[in-house]
Chains A and B, each alone.
Chain A
């Protein structure tokens, strides 16, 4: 059984039917990407997994446990961390405080210290800025902090929402390299991206979301070669 299994997921925002019956599986140890245009429902999917949104129908199962009816504070404790769209940093906190609050749900101090070290090894720029306010960081550093903060929750599944948003190509390369390292260290990742090229190069498996439905899914390398994906998302053909 996959680490995360979503079946027949429907989500409504008031009258808007944002997700219209989604099936999706994230296998343990993989990077799975969810690509699609603006408004296709990518962020909605992540927000439903982490408990910020309530599904109107369907089931979400994480590691054999149902997520239905659980709030975000409970889902973090099951091992799902969400680095949200727009990074969601606490700008009134220092970098250090942002990292510390990432571990809010944990009590194993030794483990927290180890994960903090690991996160700072992955993102050495953050170590230089621990005492600065998060608001003073550059866009790339903010994204790094958002990912590092999510790692401090020691997730088994890491949800990344548009980590490339608004960043220079070089910075995007760095961040995706680190995403691969995090995955290599054993963390399963569900990656939402508009930058389909980067996402498909990085992921093992991919889903294409079109206005609330899964249009197709396949191993990332296969998707990258598909004519439809090349035309619609890679700007080729």
Chain B
């Protein structure tokens, strides 16, 4: 379509609309897909190590979104300022606070809900995860926390555009959301594949007992994995409310469940337990969803995502980057 627009100057008005739509769809797909990926990483890292689906993970993402609101509105009172008077440090402070609070929450969830069940049947842990999820959703609705109503979040990111592609302006919000997501993914890659701690995580994920024999403190690695996954989900929560400032639904709203579910689908599509798979799965699902909405039928936005899941499960049940059989030596 880009080519068509460039080669057909006589239809320039309509073509430029086409290009704008295409570029905005790409931006939305990559931005939201990146957020799916950030959440999917938490699902996949925990599954890689403990072989169970932490169903409370998407609620940690919701917590991240709401903490962003609490810090912005309740603590920093930035909603009282005119939009262009937002200090430059506001966004970094809010995202870091959300990451720290959620990281701590992830630590507590693992320590007190999952660790006592380390040797229990996996079904018990799964049911506990659902319990933790309900607990977070319903506690979040209490008035002492976030309350039962949706809220609007002041936008902390610059409202301008950053450059343009083929005559189409790029909104700064999209650029920042995508940029921060890429930065976090690169940092995670470096951590997992280039540090001693990352190697310990991979070892524990491959074989917990042998990892312990190497001198790795397995419980500590598991704690760290929860903190890391929760912090990434918190970052996704912050970026989500920056992209959709009116989207801060109350903590138990079904819309959150759908977002968390899509992130989970991203982890499965990429190959559950595989970090790069989660990144790929998230982006794929984001693009598929937004292209489907923009060019096919908007009402089917969830259908596209779950159709991809069904196709992957039929033809590549281990996921796009997953291994069909666990390697054992």
Is the beta-carbon distance between B213 and A52 smaller than 8 angstroms? yes
Provide the bound-state CA to CA distance between A87 and B328, in Å: 10
**Chain B contacts of A87 at CB under 8 A?**
329
Q: Quick one: which of A82, A88, A135 contacts B207, CB cutoff 8 A? A: A88
- A25 to B: closest C-beta gap in Å: 23
- CB of A41 within 8 Å of the partner chain: no
- Contacts A134-B329, A135-B327 known; A90 to B206 CB distance under 8 Å? yes
Cα(A84)–Cα(B215), bound, Å: 14
CB-defined contacts of A81 to chain B, threshold 8 Å: 213
Nearest neighbor of A71 in chain B, beta-carbon distance: B212
A102 at the interface (CB under 8 A from B): yes
Residue A221 interfacial (CB < 8 Å) = no
Query: Quick check: is B73 within 8 A (CB to CB) of the other chain?
Result: no
State in angstroms the CA–CA spacing of A135 and B328 once bound together. Answer: 8
- CB of A67 to closest CB in B, whole Å: 14
Shortest Cβ distance from B210 into A: residue: A88
CB distance from B234 to the nearest CB of A (A): 29
Tell whether A27 is near chain B: CB-to-CB under 8 Å.
no
Asked whether, in the complex, the Cβ of B215 is within 8 Å of the Cβ of A104, the reply is yes
Any B CB within 8 A of the CB of A184: no
Give the distance in Å from the alpha carbon of A148 to the alpha carbon of B207 in the complex: 18
Establish whether residues B213 and A77, one from each chain, have CB atoms under 8 Å apart when the complex forms. Answer: no
Instruction: Give the A-B pair count, Cβ closer than 8 A.
Output: 72
Hey, which chain A residues are within 8 Å of B212, CB to CB?
Answer: 51-52, 71-73
The answer to whether A91 touches B328 (Cβ under 8 A) is yes
CB–CB B215/A76 < 8 A: yes
Q: Are A50 and B215 in contact (CB under 8 A)?
A: no
Contact partners of B329 in chain A: CB under 8 A: 86-89, 91, 134-135, 137, 142
A104 touches B214 (CB 8 A): yes
A residues near B (Cβ < 8 Å) are 50-52, 71-73, 76-77, 81-82, 84, 86-93, 97, 100-102, 104-105, 134-135, 137, 142, 149, 153
Given contacts A87-B329, A100-B199, 12 further A-B contacts (CB under 8 A): A52-B212, A52-B213, A71-B212, A76-B213, A81-B213, A84-B209, A84-B213, A88-B329, A92-B327, A93-B206, A105-B215, A153-B215
Which residues of B approach A to under 8 Å, CB–CB? 196, 199-200, 202-203, 206-207, 209-210, 212-218, 327-329
Give 30 pairs: A residue, B residue, CB < 8 Å, sorted on A: A51-B212, A52-B212, A72-B209, A72-B212, A72-B215, A73-B212, A73-B217, A73-B218, A76-B214, A76-B215, A77-B215, A84-B209, A84-B213, A87-B329, A88-B207, A89-B210, A90-B202, A90-B206, A90-B207, A91-B206, A92-B327, A93-B199, A93-B202, A93-B206, A97-B199, A101-B199, A104-B214, A105-B215, A134-B329, A142-B329
